[in-house]
Amino acid sequence: MKFKIQMKDPDGVYESVDDAAKESVNAIEGVSEQERKDLIESRREEFYQHIKRWFKYGEYLTVEVDTETNTIRVCES
């Protein structure tokens, strides 16, 4: 049997993307605070472009559970 579960977590998605953007920029040395902020914003937008395929409105994720194969698949939004 297959069934779908839809989850909503706007804070979790935002915070995870934000943390990833900050982490990717913090390793860069020799940039001003404004450049760092701009890079973080740019990375955040880039990461959202990567995940929008699976997260509807940036917060809804749907998975399909297959009890026969004992698998879970992330559905495209």
Q: Are 43 and 28 in contact (CB under 8 A)?
A: no
HEC string of the chain?
CEEEEEEECHHHHHHHHHHHHHHHHHCCCCCCHHHHHHHHHHHHHHHHHHHCCCEECCCEEEEEEECCCCEEEECCC
Over the stretch 1-26, which tens digit does the pLDDT of each residue have?
A: 999 999 999 899 999 999 999 999 99
Over the stretch 20-38, which tens digit does the pLDDT of each residue have?
A: 999 999 989 999 999 999 9
Over the stretch 31-65, which tens digit does the pLDDT of each residue have?
A: 999 999 999 999 999 999 999 999 999 899 999 99
